[in-house]
Structure 1
Amino acid sequence: MRFSAEDAAWRQLSSEYAGRWSIWRSDAGRWYATRLTRSLSRIEMDRGLIMTACGESAEELRALLTAQEGLAGKTLST
């Protein structure tokens, strides 16, 4: 069985963010991720955290998730 580049990218992202984000690709080709953890508080959302991220490519989504995890770390320490 052969896998496409998109399948490989999905597997990689799903592995990197396992247990924290659910990754999928829409029929239109956009990449999405939704947090698997508890709902965010109003304060967390006001600080820029989001429940669902979306990007045009796997790389764009990875950048968004990396930024979100950085923000989450700052939110916990303040």
Structure 2
Amino acid sequence: MKETDVERVLGRYAGTWSIWRSDTGRWYATRLTRALSRVQLDANLSMTVHADDAEALDELLTEQERMASAAPS
């Protein structure tokens, strides 16, 4: 993924996810919202996700956002 693509991912989720790259090169994102409810956790929503690269993280976050819009609060 090109640097501009990384910036796009960071910008897309600014304010909803805190995104960083670890010293080992893995990408992480943690929700900036309140803790998830038991119902949301049971619907497979995660407070923190990780991936090998920014592109894979983008896919995970897109899926998390899709599931969040369908899950009860």
TM over 0.5: yes
Greater RCO, 1 or 2 (C-alpha within 8 Å, sep 6+): 2
**What are the ranges of 5 or more consecutive residues in structure 1 without an aligned counterpart?**
none
Give the % identical residues. 49
Aligned to 2:27: 31
The answer to whether structure 1 residue 41 and structure 2 residue 42 are counterparts is no
**What are the ranges of 5 or more consecutive residues in structure 2 without an aligned counterpart?**
none
Runs of 4+ in 1 over 6 A off after TM superposition: none
Taking structure 2 as the reference length, what is the TM-score of the superposition? 0.89
Aligned to 1:75: 71
Structure 2 CA distance, aligned partners of 1:18 and 1:67? 16
Indicate the structure (1 or 2) with the bigger Cα radius of gyration.
1
Count residues with an aligned counterpart: 73
Tell me the C-alpha RMSD between the 2 structures: 1.8
Taking structure 1 as the reference length, what is the TM-score of the superposition? 0.83
1:51 to 25, 47, 63: 47
